[in-house]
Amino acid sequence: MVKLSPSVLTADFLTLSDILPKFEKSGVDMLHLDVMDGIFVPNISFGIPVINSIKKHTSLPLDVHLMIDKPHRYIKEFAEVADWLGFHYEAGSDVGETLKEIRKYGCKSCLTIKPNTEAEEIFDFLPLCDMVLVMSVDPGFGGQKFMPSSLDKVRKIAKEAKRQGISLEIEIDGGINAETAPLAVEAGVTVLVAGNYIFSAENIEETVKSVKSL
């Protein structure tokens, strides 16, 4: 069964604590938290204090996605509040050393690639990853249209992980909805990130269950 990681970026933070119990009851696997610094991406979101507040109100694992410049500077601090901790291949850190550091602090490691990065560029780092996140939109803003080209990257990464004998989660983020989610799962995605599709649903529990049944 596919895992679901709702992105809180599109949530109303004043009512988020009311929604979290619904997620837990309906089988959500983790929460996706987008940290943006206004440098690596042209937007600013939130940081450690907000993540800490969310952590107090849920038992769900926190899937923290760092969209920040030179993320190696903050690994220890974010590792204290995250369960899964990911950063961008393109963000200006030593990729291998940063992945090792994430694991050293007890988090599961995730390497993320933008739409204009080829899957082959990260093959050498797969043994250091617990998950790879393929962006199916340009990072920085919610509500963008899904890029079908991301599915080919998913297939390549899944094939390469199998070739290397690696057990790896493959996550996709951007434009996930009732139409694109089945395509992603068919390509090899094991973790779906969804924001607008989940938080704008009339019945969140039923929407979660429909995605999880893929």
Measured CA angle at 194 (ends 199, 77), to 5 deg: 100
Active-site choice (34, 37, 63, 130): 34
| 154 Rama sector, left if φ>0, alpha if ψ -120 to 50, beta otherwise | alpha
124 in catalytic set = no
12 in catalytic set = no
| 122 Rama sector, left if φ>0, alpha if ψ -120 to 50, beta otherwise | alpha
Q: How far apart are CA 55 and CA 181, in angstroms?
A: 27
Which of 188, 183, 135, 191 has its CA nearest to residue 157?
A: 188
Q: How far apart are CA 194 and CA 201, in angstroms?
A: 11
Quick check: 110 and 131 in contact, CB under 8 A?
yes
Active-site choice (37, 63, 130, 173): 173
Q: How far apart are CA 200 and CA 214, in angstroms?
A: 20
Q: How far apart are CA 107 and CA 66, in angstroms?
A: 14
Active-site residue list: 34, 173
